[in-house]
Amino acid sequence: MLKKLLNLAMGIAVPMALLTAGPAWAEIREHTLKFAAANNKGHPQVTGMEKFSELVKEKSGGKIDVKLFPGGVLGGDVQTISALQGGVIEMTVLNAGILASNVKPFGAVDLPFLFNSGEEADKVMDGAFGTGLMDLLPDTGLVGLGYWELGFRNLTNNRRAVTKLEDIGGLKIRTIQSPIPIELFNSLGANAVPLPYTELYTALETGTVDGQENPAANILNAKFFEVQKYMTVTRHQYNPQIVLISKTFWDGLNDEEKAVFQAAASEARDYQRTVSREADAKAIEEIKATGMEVTELSPEETQKLRDAVKPLIEKFSAEIGAETVAQLMKELSAVRGQ
DSSP secondary structure letters along 130-148: HHHHHTTSGGGTEEEEEEE
**Residue % of the chain over a pLDDT of 70:** 92
Give the single-character DSSP code of 28: P
Which of 5-19, 27-41, 85-99, 313-327 is least confident? 5-19
| Separation of CA 204 from chain center | 23
pLDDT at 9 over 80: no
**Residue % of the chain over a pLDDT of 90:** 88
Per-range mean pLDDT, top range of 3-7, 76-80, 291-295: 291-295
pLDDT at 21 over 50: no
Cα separation, 216 vs 232, whole angstroms: 10
pLDDT category, 291, cuts 50, 70, 90?
very high
* pLDDT at residue 63 in the model: 97
Q: Pairing relation of β-strands 31-36 and 91-95?
A: parallel
Over its C-alpha atoms, the chain yields an Rg (Å, rounded) of 23
Domain 31-335 belongs to what topology? Answer: D-Maltodextrin-Binding Protein; domain 2 (3.40.190)
pLDDT at 244 over 80: yes
pLDDT category, 177, cuts 50, 70, 90?
confident
Q: What is the three-class DSSP state of 189?
A: coil
Q: Which of 203, 196, 151, 204 is nearest to 177 (CA)?
A: 196
* Mean pLDDT along residues 175-179: 88
* Mean pLDDT along residues 36-43: 94
pLDDT at 6 over 70: no
Cα separation, 166 vs 251, whole angstroms: 51
Q: What angle do CA 271, 120, 270 make, to 5 degrees?
A: 10
**C-alpha dihedral over 194, 197, 202, 206, to 10 degrees?**
20
Q: Which ranges of the chain does DSSP label H, i.e. alpha helix? A: 2-27, 44-59, 77-85, 118-126, 128-134, 179-187, 200-206, 216-221, 247-251, 255-289, 299-308, 310-320, 322-335
pLDDT category, 5, cuts 50, 70, 90?
very low
| Separation of CA 49 from chain center | 11
pLDDT category, 4, cuts 50, 70, 90?
very low
Contact predicate 57/64, CB 8 Å: yes
pLDDT category, 281, cuts 50, 70, 90?
confident
pLDDT per residue as tens digits for the range 312-334: 988 999 889 999 999 999 999 99
Domain parsing of the chain, residue ranges? 31-335
Count CB atoms within 10 A of the CB of residue 174: 24
Contact predicate 123/335, CB 8 Å: yes
pLDDT category, 3, cuts 50, 70, 90?
very low
HSE, side-chain direction, 13 A CA sphere, residue 220:
20
**C-alpha dihedral over 109, 89, 75, 38, to 10 degrees?**
50
* pLDDT at residue 338 in the model: 73
* Mean pLDDT along residues 141-147: 98
Cα separation, 160 vs 34, whole angstroms: 41
Count CB atoms within 10 A of the CB of residue 56: 24
pLDDT per residue as tens digits for the range 191-209: 999 999 999 999 999 999 9
Q: What is the length of the chain?
A: 338
DSSP H or E stretch at residue 73: none
Per-chain mean pLDDT for the chain: 91
Cα separation, 258 vs 24, whole angstroms: 12
